[in-house]
Amino acid sequence: MSISLNTCILILKEHHLLKSSAVQDTVATKMEYVSYDSRDIETNTLFFCKGAGFRPTYLSMAKDNGAICYVAEQPYPEGKGMHALIVRDVSKAMALLSAAFFGFPQDDLFVVAFTGTKGKTTSAYFLKGMLDKMNGGRTALISSVNDVVGPKPEDTFKSSLTTPESLDLFRDMRTAVDNGMTHLVMEVSSQAYKKNRVFGLTYDLGFFLNITPDHIGPNEHPNFADYLHCKLQLLVNSRKCIINAETDHFDEVYAAATTTTNPDSIYLFASENFENPNLKVPIDFRYASQETDMRETKFKLFCATDKAKELPINGDYTLQMIGDFNESNGTAAIIGAGLAGMSHDECAKGIRHVTIPGRMQNEMTKEHGMVVVDYAHNKASMMALMRFMQKEFDNPKIIVVVGAPGDKGVSRRPGFSESLSAYADKAFLTTDDPGFEDPQSIAEEIDSGIDHSKCDVTIELDREKAIHDAISMAGKDDVVLICGKGADAFQKVRGVDNPYPSDIVVAQRVINELEGNQEHFN
Give 244-293 as a DSSP string. Answer: ETTSTTHHHHHHHHHTTS-GGGEEEEEETT---TT--S---EEEEEEEE-
Domain locations in the chain?
Answer: 3-101, 105-269+328-343, 361-515
- Amino acid identity, position 489: A
Among candidate residues 475, 39, 355, 409, the one with its CA nearest the CA of residue 220:
409
Q: What is the pLDDT of residue 293?
A: 67
Q: What is the pLDDT of residue 228?
A: 85
Q: How many angstroms separate the Cα of 19 from the Cα of each of 8, 85, 92, 103, 307? A: 13, 8, 13, 25, 47
What tens digit of pLDDT does each residue of 283-325 get? Answer: 999 999 997 766 789 999 999 999 999 999 999 999 988 777 8
Residue 167 three-state SS? helix
More confident residue, 472 or 489: 472
- pLDDT higher than threshold 60 for residue 221: no
What tens digit of pLDDT does each residue of 324-353 get? Answer: 789 999 999 999 999 999 999 999 999 999
Q: What is the pLDDT of residue 294?
A: 67
**158-193 burial code (b ≥16 CB/10 A, e <16):** ebebbbbbbbbbbbbbbbbbeeebbbbbbbbbbbbb
Q: What is the pLDDT of residue 266?
A: 98
More confident residue, 391 or 32: 32
Binned at pLDDT 50, 70 and 90, residue 358 comes out as confident
Please say whether the dihedral angle defined by the alpha carbons of residues 95, 97, 101 and 105, taken in this order, is positive or negative: positive
Residue 28 three-state SS? coil
Please determine, looking at this structure, whether the domain spanning 361-515 carries the CATH number 3.40.50.300. no
Binned at pLDDT 50, 70 and 90, residue 441 comes out as very high
Among candidate residues 107, 73, 74, the one with its CA nearest the CA of residue 93:
73
Q: What is the pLDDT of residue 216?
A: 53
- pLDDT higher than threshold 90 for residue 394: no
Average pLDDT for 231-239: 94
The least confident of 134-138, 192-196, 261-265 is 192-196
Q: What is the pLDDT of residue 520?
A: 64
Among candidate residues 79, 81, 83, the one with its CA nearest the CA of residue 62:
79
Percent of the chain whose predicted confidence (pLDDT) is above 90? 76
Q: What is the pLDDT of residue 446?
A: 95
Q: What is the pLDDT of residue 408?
A: 77
Binned at pLDDT 50, 70 and 90, residue 519 comes out as low
Cβ-based neighbours of 331, under 8 Å, separated by 6 or more: 269, 285, 287, 299, 301
Check if the beta carbon of residue 227 is closer than 8 Å to that of residue 191.
no
More confident residue, 74 or 278: 74
Q: What is the pLDDT of residue 160?
A: 75
Q: What is the pLDDT of residue 518?
A: 59
Chain mean pLDDT for the chain: 92
35 backbone dihedrals φ, ψ, rounded to 5°: -160, 155
Q: Candidates 2.40.50.140, 3.40.1190.10, 1.10.40.30, 3.40.109.10; correct CATH number of 105-269+328-343?
A: 3.40.1190.10
Q: How many angstroms separate the Cα of 51 from the Cα of each of 73, 195, 196? A: 11, 9, 12
Percent of the chain whose predicted confidence (pLDDT) is above 70? 96
Integer Rg of the chain from CA: 24
Give, for 83, the enclosing helix (H) or strand (E): strand 83-87
Q: Count how many residues are written for the chain.
A: 522
User: What's the topology of domain 3-101?
Assistant: 3.40.1390
What tens digit of pLDDT does each residue of 72-119 get? Answer: 999 999 999 999 999 999 999 999 999 999 999 999 999 999 999 888
Q: What is the pLDDT of residue 487?
A: 82
- pLDDT higher than threshold 70 for residue 427: yes
- pLDDT higher than threshold 70 for residue 220: no
Binned at pLDDT 50, 70 and 90, residue 451 comes out as very high
